Amino acid sequence: MQELESLQNIFKNRIFKIPDYQRGYAWTTRQLKDFWEDVVNLPHDRFHYTGLLSLKKLNRQTWSSWNDEKWLIEDRGYKPFHIVDGQQRLTTFVIFIQVISELLKELPSNSENKEDDIYLGSFSLKAIKESYLVIEKPPQFIIKTYKFGYETDNPSFKFLKHRIFLERNSGSIQETFYTLNLENSKKFFKENLAEFYNEYGLSEIESLFKKLTQNLMFNVYEISDDFDVFVAFETMNNRGKKLSNLELLKNRLIYLTTLYEEDELKPDERTSLREKINDAWKEVYYQLGRNKKYPLNDDDFLVAHWIMYFQYSREKGDDYIRFLLEQKFTPQNIYAKTEVKVSSIQEFEEIKENEETDQEEVETNGNGEEKTVLRSKLTPKEIEDYVNSLKSAAVHWYNTNHPVNNPDLPEIERLWIDRLNRIGIIYFRPLVTVSYLSKMETVDRVGLFQAIERFIFVTFRLSRAFSTYRNSEFYRAARQLRNNELSIDTIIERLNERMNYCFYTPQESEETYFDYTYFQKFIEKKFKSGGGFYNWNGLRYFLYEYEMEKVRQRGSQKIDWKLFVKGEKDKISIEHIYPQTPDKKCWKESFREYKKQERHYFQGTLGNLLPLSQSINSSLQNDCFVNKKNPKYNDRKDKIRQGYSDGSHSEIEVSNYPDWNADTILERSIKLLEFMEKRWDLKFEDERSMAELLFLDFMYEEEIEETK
């Protein structure tokens, strides 16, 4: 069995680089806590098996272009390695060491000392940094050589040097969710080490350092040249924190570039293709992690791009990644050859571009004759086209997820994409993203967004279609639009046609009306369960749109969507004006002539529900209407709820009613449905139909009885 090695021994005379096919730093708080507890709880005289460290020793051809590391390799005999497996643990280790070094330097007793005069036990700070972090080249000390890092074109390396190791003069630094993980890891260790030092003192920090460097043991395995390093990477990394499919795909594509024979992919082309893969993934990871508070899921993006780029099939589960890794981008598709006819002129043009011939050879070979050559079933050009498409789609994917205040989008497009996100864009994000990959004017794109938003509201929020209704058709439309096989006008026409079942035309009539049957049955079930319209999943979007219409008319937005939909325990942002628990005398007086079930309908119908500009404790909604209209104060004269009169535009509108009774509820309910007609281009047959949908049609029956 191979002898286990400590980190002290592993870092001796070695330089580590994380290769381009590797993912970034993926550990989060859960893994960091486990690592911290392992080190803290490890007895001083015990060793801890930390896992396998797989390394690939690099040849001169690979490291000869490394400027900052070359002197250590050539002059001091350091050996350069790629980390195939174990980079998450080694990254965590060097961040831990960096934080210990910063803690030492920041101690008041060391404020005037140089690094070689600062000690942790028998180790000087300078020796610690040179053993595990960075060595400066004498005598000028201009070159800083990091013993652990990434390939230089990886944005994580610049972040690691300047934000983690505190090298100065960073300039602009690109951040991704991988760099966010680096930042969070450092923050985690700074906080825990500070507490540990305050409680136990410097001697225990020394103990932690010794356990970290001498008691954590690795099984170090060097992968030989003839071993398939890429397959090893896929196999080994799936033992730890599982690789995402996007990470696996990057590794696979880079691996495939190594398999082409030289007559099909020349060395300079191989390097260029590999760089394009890395550039594409840098852009993708940047866009996915661009909003650090709300990073986007990489597999969601990959699925959507697959829908845009390849033929969508209605299968379940992970068929998209099976297609990519097991059918499309496979070694077999490179080894499998197909016959391709190439003219001698084409062949010569390729030679000419490489400057390997002269004019005399042109005249000899350029006769236009065709010959048959063997080419891989999966060509390098297909890989290039695919990764370039991923790269260009990434920024638009970000924009569709984060349109608000996005300077890359025109204001009208921001408005409609925000609406789509608020209503729930369901399966339309690939289509929306593709609209930015196709050349079209803003007016056409907005027309598509309007049609999608109307389709979602009418079909799913009102007519209660299943969430997968027509998804295959519009997934295919995304690809067809990208390939210029389908126009925006045709897609809009299809969206409108697919809503035909939501409307009806009565006999001997030219008018088309909204068929509210499905919606009414849905709301009836909600009334039986106690909520009525309050439990409709389109309510918040609908009331917010009504409110925003008032904002466009009057200005001054008063409801924040994020706060409006945020759930808070014991608080409400939509109030039942006539409360669900109407135990006060004022409510009993106003609705005493109605039966219990009728009062239930008044409480849960649309016009009795009011969006609040500030959420309130649910107990406050039982107040009488006259008290709700004005601010409420407690005994200490502190305001405990805002009044309708100085609330949202919808609240102000309601505050203008002198009383809140059955008639006002019906009146406001009809008003809201009239807004629905105008906003989503639908029409109810008459007010009686509206009242039926609102479950208030009994009021019309009572009027007829009174007339008799």
| Beta bridge mates, 576 | 609
**pLDDT for res 305:** 95
CA 91-97-98 angle, to 5 degrees, is 90
Helix (H) or strand (E) holding 237: helix 229-237
pLDDT for 366 equals: 46
The answer to whether 342 and 373 have CB atoms below 8 angstroms apart is yes
Phi-psi region of 169 (alpha: psi -120 to 50; beta: other; left: phi over 0): left
Helix (H, G, I), strand (E, B) or coil at 124: strand
Rounded-to-integer distance, Cα 553 and Cα 428, Å: 30
* Beta strand pairing call for 14-18 and 148-150: parallel
- Split at pLDDT 50, 70, 90, the class of 338 is confident
- How many angstroms separate the CA atoms of 330 and 389, rounded? 19
Residues 108-132 pLDDT 10s = 999 889 999 999 999 999 999 999 9
DSSP 3-state percent helix, strand, coil across the chain (nearest 5): 55, 10, 30
Q: Is 14 helix (H, G, I), strand (E, B) or coil?
A: strand
Q: Residue 344 pLDDT > 60, yes or no?
A: no
Q: Which residue has the tokens 């290769």?
A: 19
Q: Helices in 630-686 by DSSP H: which ranges?
A: 649-655, 662-680
Query: What's the pLDDT tens digit per position in 213-225?
Result: 999 999 998 887 6
Closest CA to 159 of 146, 429, 409: 146
Confidence band, pLDDT 50/70/90 cuts, at residue 364: very low
pLDDT tens column, 289-332 = 888 888 899 889 999 999 999 977 665 557 888 899 989 999 99
> DSSP per residue over 299-362, as a string?
HHHHHHHHHHHS------TTHHHHIIIIIIS-THHHHSEEEEEEEHHHHHHHHHHTT---HHHH
Which residue matches tokens 């809140």? 660
Kindly report the length of the chain: 708
CA distance 78 to 73: 4
Write down the pLDDT at residue 568. 81
Per-residue pLDDT reduced to its tens digit, 431-479: 999 999 988 999 999 999 999 999 999 999 999 999 999 999 999 999 9
Q: How confident is the model at residue 373 (pLDDT cuts 50, 70, 90)?
A: confident
pLDDT digits (tens, 9 = 90+) for 22-58: 778 889 999 999 999 999 999 988 998 888 888 989 9
In this prediction, residue 639 carries a pLDDT of 81
| Range in 157-166, 409-418, 540-549 the model is least confident about | 157-166
The CB density around residue 592, as the number of other CB atoms within 10 Å, is 8
* Contact yes or no for 215/38 (Cβ under 8 A): no
pLDDT for residue 635: 75
pLDDT band (50, 70, 90) for residue 417:
very high
- CA 612/CA 573 separation, integer angstroms: 5
Q: What is the rounded average pLDDT for all residues in the chain?
A: 89
The pairing of strands 571-576 and 144-146 is unpaired
Q: What span, in angstroms and rounded, lies between the C-alpha atoms of 202 and 9? A: 24
Nearest-angstrom CA–CA distance, 365 and 342: 13
Res. 362: pLDDT tops 50: no
DSSP state for residue 260 in the 8-state scheme:
S
The mean per-residue pLDDT over the stretch 521-528 comes to 96
Q: Is the pLDDT of residue 525 over 70?
A: yes
Cis-peptide into 331, omega within 30 deg: no
Mean pLDDT on 526-538: 94
Residue 346 confidence (pLDDT): 46
**Helices 380-401 and 298-309: angle between axes, nearest 10 degrees:** 120
The answer, yes or no, to whether residue 367 has pLDDT greater than 80, is no
CA distance between the termini of the chain: 101
Output 21 or 653, whichever has higher pLDDT: 653
Instruction: Output the pLDDT for position 647.
Output: 93
The per-residue pLDDT for 102 is 95
Q: If pLDDT is split at 50, 70 and 90, which confidence band does 361 have?
A: very low
Rounded CA separation 661/667 (Å): 10
d(CA 420, CA 414): 10
Query: In the predicted model, what is the mean pLDDT of residues 123-143?
Result: 93
Query: pLDDT at position 1, please?
Result: 44
Contact (Cβ atoms closer than 8 angstroms) between residue 345 and residue 368: yes
More confident site: 51 or 342:
51
Closest CA to 471 of 425, 413, 434: 425
Q: Which amino acid is at 129?
A: K
| Region of residue 357 (phi > 0: left; psi between -120 and 50: alpha; otherwise: beta) | beta
Per-residue pLDDT band at 619 (split at 50, 70, 90): confident
Neighbours of 170 (CB within 10 A): 12
CB atoms within 10 A of CB 645: 14
- pLDDT score recorded for residue 702: 58
354's tokens: 């490489």
Among 104-108, 154-158, 700-704, which is the least confidently predicted range?
700-704
Rounded to whole angstroms, how far apart are CA atoms 523 and 654?
Answer: 24
At 120, give phi and psi (nearest 5°). -120, 100
Radius of gyration of the chain (CA): 34
Closest Cα to residue 365, out of 355, 357, 375, 353? 357
Name the DSSP letter for residue 646: G
